Amino acid sequence: MKGGRGPLLAHTRGSPMTRIHIRRVLPAPGEILVKMGDQVEAPQRIARIPRHGEFQVINVAHTLGLANHDLSRVMVKKRGDRVEAGELLAAKREGLPFLHKPCRSPITGRLVAIGYGWVVIEAESSGEGQFAPGDKTGDLRAFVAGQVTSIVDRRSVTIETVGAYISGACGVGGEGNGILQVLAKNPADTLTADQIGMGANNAILVGGAGISPDALDRAREMQVQGIIVGGISSSLYDLATGFSFPIVATEGYGNLPMSPIVFDILKRHEGREASLSGQTGDARDNLQPAIIVPLAEHQPEMENWPLIEDVSVEFAHVGHQVRVVRHPLLGRVGELISMPTTPQQVPSGLSLPGAQVAFKNLERLVYQQDSILTRDEGHLQPDVVQFVPWLNLEHII
Amino acid sequence: MVADCGSTQISVALIERVNGHHRLLARGEAISTHRFPWLDATVGLREAVRQIESLVGRSLLAEGRLLIKSQNQTMDGVDAFVAVSSAGAPLQVVLAGLTRSLSLASAQRALAATYTLTSGLLAIDEGPTSRDPNTQLQTLRLARPDVIFITGGTDGGAVHPVIKVAQLVALYNQLLEPEERPLIFYAGNAHLADEIAALFAAAGKLQVVANVRPGAELENLGQAQTELEAIYLKRSLALLPGLDTLRQWADRPIIPATRSFGQLIRYLGDRYQLKVVGMDLGSTSTSLAARAGDLFSLTTRADLGIGFSAGTALEQVPLEHVVRWLPFEIEPTDARDILLNKSLHPASVPQTRQDLLLEYALGREIMRQIVAQARPGWLRGGHHMLAHTPQWDLIVGVGRTLTRTPHPGYAALLLLDALEPVGVSQIALDAGGIATGLGAIAAVQPLAAAEVVEHDAFLNLGTVVAPLGTARPGEVALRVKVCYDDGREVQQEVMYGSIALIPLAAGARATLELHPTRRFDMGLGEPGRGVTAEAEGGILGLIIDARGRPLVLPAKDEDRRRLVREWMECLLL
């Protein structure tokens, strides 16, 4: 490789301490409730779009038997008026009195549009309540404790904090805040229902490789604020979509041991307030699930952790810590020890450029032609060196 | 130099005159960098260009900028730079019209020429619920469209239903802040254009184009396709981080990769007088282009891809359809997990054979989906035979999944399973990784594009012979006599349900005498009638695909897996 460096690699965030800028964006222009420099707490409302009620379309022209769609002569209410259920919206007063026809509002709300023979009533709502994923109205909360450093008129607020930041691979649900509770002893454990006790109420639970269906149900009963695991099976994903709390998988789909780096960071922060987002956007949104643990100032641990100010992504170099994103070593973290100049063949038959990566404590992997590989977990091999294609590696920053 | 800025990877190719002809000199690749943390597409582009610099021993960049030869006295730099891209987010479109099988079908074909996603559909002809304004309003609210495409009525035809639909959309617009309102795109009854314009004069941005269905049997997609592409370029691609810099370097506007790919297929069909079909299987989107005489069809699916869009693809393709192509058993949940993990790391490559075959299985189903969507358009082009029994002279495979296989037999099998061609066809792969850029190159240097096509762009896999028909296992489907140019002859009987591979080296030619048995037809409409054809050799040789058309997989798992293994072994996989 030119200049002793490898290619650009994809990356993942797993920083024990870094400066974090969270941009909180309203889905449409609304009202900003904070100002520059304000210190905010995670559950604090920082912006809002008054929540809309459901819209109801009423065909006034049809109800009144009008020949055309001109409602100007029949409307009793105008755009912006509040109406009660049963209240008169419009009336045809031509001809004999007993032929006069009324059109009444079926719901209580506000008249928001008139046109083409129709009116639209927006049902009354309290105007409050958090955004659910996909909502366009509601309250926007800070999500993390920190300081407001930027406001874009009626649209977004940026909050800065310092602490741990971990990217999730996939997630489900909205946002949650709670105290981190690490239930797994080992990043390869599966979280089971019996591990989840009364203390889980309002907590963010940290499991290991995955979570059992019973544990999911139990977590819901205990009203947790979120769950973090290494992997989540796609079969549970559909079930979890209906839950009120977020679930973040740090490695991906399936039963996947959590990265030891991520597990270590979460273990260190056990007992602290964390913010969890399970939201995954589409190609427009660029959202990614995230775990954030803001740190208050002057905490002793901070002296041992270098603060990563800039996320500058370098080219691959010998000595870099890298993570594998594809089977059979999906989720494993190792050290890049050499960069062969010629492509090498992998078991799939593809010949690819890549790197030699040293892994510690790797369980022996047993391949069988065309079938799922099995892990011989009784045999751990220290310092195994494996060739991994560049495209299957990412930096951890 | 041409750059293809994809959603997952950026590739750059350098073309130069060598011994009087334009040749593909070198290529470079890097991961796409328009997302966090780089937020600049040119970071990856520069890395790819530096790889070319290493290979050719010349400077192409100076202080991070592309060197243009006319601006310096040395041999460094390039004469021209063009770029294509598929990295912009697709336009979210709600389709609103009258009849799903007529105007809305034409509208969908118009949308399919560029990167769009249909996030909602209002079809008035689908019963009282579909006509209920509350249902219609809810559809619009949930869809969050960038564009609302209104169509319906032939020119001089339906009036009231089209106006009703437009009025509902105008009412919806009243509920939105001005900056939130989607663009209204009208391509319906041309006689209503003024009335539609009046509806949106105060409530939205309107663009009026020619009716996509001016007559019941007439389709006119050209203007709608051109304008939709322009909207995509302006509203989506323009937002790509780093695009401004790319524009400054480029000699021509950056165009969608799918358009450039379509131009290539059209050129191949016209230049060589062939019926050509091209399949570009990408990470986020897949494109199918076809040229046959006057027919040109381009179908783009921005929700079907083997990488980023693997998740959305799995929402549309039943998993059992995917795993039926595997020669081994796998738990459905495990299969889904593996494919969804691919969508999280779309640039990643399969390291195990299991992962490889699973990706290929999904790729097959993605391609079959897009073929099924494109076929009615081929029928409308008057090509009944193409629509029902596709007979192509040339099949072109594009995209890394197809062009970077452990063995070219994989690519051949993927394309045959997806397209199910009938008759005699040549198969070629975009081995140069340049197919999607050739259309853009042709706009500035047509000779360069033509010469690269001639010399470097494609790897010829060989000729495939596939009869139409089915029979009982063990029956002879086809008798083949191969008469080589050197006078040798080979005769072979090929059983129904099997694939046979007959040697025919790259560059060699042979005359084929093809005798289908009574249940089989070489695409002439006459079962049992023999034909003579010329065949060109390739990396694989002559492939006799007697598995039947339509291709039917056994329902019993063991039988199906055994058969899939046999087919792979036939092609030396």
User: pLDDT digit string (tens) for A245-255?
Assistant: 999 999 999 99
- Separation of alpha carbons B325 and B94, rounded Å: 34
Tokens of B294: 């006057």
For residue A313, the chain B residue with the least C-alpha distance is B37
Name which of B136, B151, B255 is nearest B207 in CA terms.
B151
Q: Do B344 and A234 touch (CB under 8 A)?
A: no
Is B562 in the A-facing interface, judged by CB distances under 8 Å?
A: no
Is B72 in the A-facing interface, judged by CB distances under 8 Å?
A: no
Give per-residue pLDDT as tens, A97-116: 666 678 999 999 999 999 89
Cα B82 to chain centroid distance, Å, stands at 21
For residue A231, the chain B residue with the least C-alpha distance is B337
Residues A354-368, buried b or exposed e (16+ Cβ, 10 A)? bbbbebeebbebeee
- Separation of alpha carbons B372 and B369, rounded Å: 5
Q: Do B137 and A327 touch (CB under 8 A)?
A: no
Q: Do B30 and A282 touch (CB under 8 A)?
A: no
| Angstrom distances, CA of residue A217 to CA of A193, B124, B421 | 8, 43, 51
Tokens of A193: 């229902």
- A298: confidence class by pLDDT, cuts 50, 70, 90: low
Cα B165 to chain centroid distance, Å, stands at 32
Distance from CA of A223 to the nearest CA of B (A): 27
Q: Do B344 and A325 touch (CB under 8 A)?
A: yes
For residue B180, the chain A residues in CB contact (below 8 A) are 28-29
CB atoms within 10 A of CB A134: 10
- DSSP 8-state assignment for residue A194: G
For residue B331, the chain A residues in CB contact (below 8 A) are 372
For residue A110, the chain B residues in CB contact (below 8 A) are none
Q: Which residues have C-beta within 8 Å of that of residue B395, sequence separation ≥ 6?
A: B276, B277, B278, B279, B415, B419, B421, B425, B426, B427, B428, B464
- Separation of alpha carbons B109 and B377, rounded Å: 8
Strand segments (E) across B124-165: 147-150
B202 burial type by CB count under 10 A (0-12 exposed, 13-18 middle, 19+ buried): exposed
| Mutation target among B33, B52, B304, B341 for the A interface, most CBs of A within 10 A | B341
Q: Are B31 and B10 in contact (CB under 8 A)?
A: yes
**Residue A131 clears pLDDT 80, i.e. is over it:** no
Distance from CA of B406 to the nearest CA of A (A): 5
- Separation of alpha carbons B79 and B91, rounded Å: 34
Average pLDDT over residues A64-76: 87
Is B50 in the A-facing interface, judged by CB distances under 8 Å?
A: yes
Is B330 in the A-facing interface, judged by CB distances under 8 Å?
A: yes
Distance from CA of A111 to the nearest CA of B (A): 11
For residue A254, the chain B residues in CB contact (below 8 A) are 334, 337-338, 341
Q: In this predicted structure, what is the pLDDT of residue A366? A: 47
- A25: confidence class by pLDDT, cuts 50, 70, 90: confident
Q: Do A7 and B31 touch (CB under 8 A)?
A: yes
Say what the ipTM of the complex is.
0.92
- The DSSP element (H or E) to which A240 belongs, if any, is helix A234-240
Give φ, ψ of B217 to 5 degrees.
-110, 10
Q: In this predicted structure, what is the pLDDT of residue A70? A: 86
Q: Which 292-321 residues of chain B touch chain A by CB within 8 A?
A: 308
- Separation of alpha carbons B88 and B257, rounded Å: 11
pTM of the model: 0.92
Q: Between chain A and chain B, how many beta carbons pairs sit less than 8 Å apart?
A: 172
For chain A, first and last CA: distance in Å?
22
Q: In this predicted structure, what is the pLDDT of residue A240? A: 83
- Separation of alpha carbons A160 and A32, rounded Å: 17
Q: In this predicted structure, what is the pLDDT of residue B86? A: 94
Q: Do A348 and B351 touch (CB under 8 A)?
A: yes
Q: Which residues have C-beta within 8 Å of that of residue A334, sequence separation ≥ 6?
A: A321, A322, A324, A357, A358, A359, A360, A386
Is the model more confident about A272 or about B67? A272
Q: Do B349 and A55 touch (CB under 8 A)?
A: no
From A311, A372, A389, residue closest to B354, measured CB to CB = A372
Give per-residue pLDDT as tens, B173-201: 988 888 889 999 999 999 999 999 999 99
Name which of B407, B126, B562, B250 is nearest A351 in CA terms.
B407
Q: Do B337 and A389 touch (CB under 8 A)?
A: no
- Separation of alpha carbons B232 and B248, rounded Å: 19
- Separation of alpha carbons B280 and B398, rounded Å: 4
Distance from CA of A35 to the nearest CA of B (A): 24
- Separation of alpha carbons A18 and A37, rounded Å: 20
For residue A286, the chain B residues in CB contact (below 8 A) are 35-36
Q: Do A347 and B352 touch (CB under 8 A)?
A: yes
- Separation of alpha carbons A344 and A329, rounded Å: 17
From B174, B356, B404, residue closest to A113, measured CB to CB = B174
Q: For residue B328, give the 3-state DSSP assignment.
A: coil
For residue A283, the chain B residues in CB contact (below 8 A) are 7, 89-90, 284, 308
Q: In this predicted structure, what is the pLDDT of residue B384? A: 64
| Angstrom distances, CA of residue A16 to CA of A170, A269, A330 | 20, 9, 22
Distance from CA of B33 to the nearest CA of A (A): 9
Tokens of B504: 């025919």
CB atoms within 10 A of CB A169: 26
Q: Are B1 and B60 in contact (CB under 8 A)?
A: yes
- DSSP 8-state assignment for residue A47: E
Q: Do A253 and B337 touch (CB under 8 A)?
A: yes
Distance from CA of B14 to the nearest CA of A (A): 19
Q: Do B334 and A254 touch (CB under 8 A)?
A: yes
DSSP line for A316-356: P-TT-EEEE-STTSTT-EEEEEE--SS-EE-TTS-EE-EEE
For residue A29, the chain B residues in CB contact (below 8 A) are 177, 179-180
- Separation of alpha carbons B536 and A147, rounded Å: 70
Residues B102-131, buried b or exposed e (16+ Cβ, 10 A)? bbbbbbbbbbbbbbbbbbbbbbbbeeeeeb
Q: In this predicted structure, what is the pLDDT of residue B375? A: 87
- Separation of alpha carbons A1 and A5, rounded Å: 6
Q: In this predicted structure, what is the pLDDT of residue A2? A: 44
Distance from CA of B524 to the nearest CA of A (A): 40
Q: Which 252-291 residues of chain B touch chain A by CB within 8 A?
A: 284
- Maximum distance among all Cα pairs of chain A, rounded to whole angstroms: 97
Q: How many residues does chain A have?
A: 397
For residue B177, the chain A residues in CB contact (below 8 A) are 28-29
- A376: confidence class by pLDDT, cuts 50, 70, 90: very low
Distance from CA of B526 to the nearest CA of A (A): 42
| Mutation target among A20, A55, A155 for the B interface, most CBs of B within 10 A | A55
DSSP line for B351-408: -SHHHHHHHHHHHHHHHHHHHHHHHHHHHHTT-HHHHHS---SEEEEESHHHHS-SSH
Distance from CA of A28 to the nearest CA of B (A): 7
CB atoms within 10 A of CB A106: 14
For residue B132, the chain A residue with the least C-alpha distance is A57
Tokens of A242: 């209906």
Of chain A, the percentage scoring pLDDT greater than 90 comes to: 56
- A27: confidence class by pLDDT, cuts 50, 70, 90: confident
Low-confidence ranges of chain B (pLDDT < 70): 69-74, 380-389, 573
Q: Are A353 and A276 in contact (CB under 8 A)?
A: no
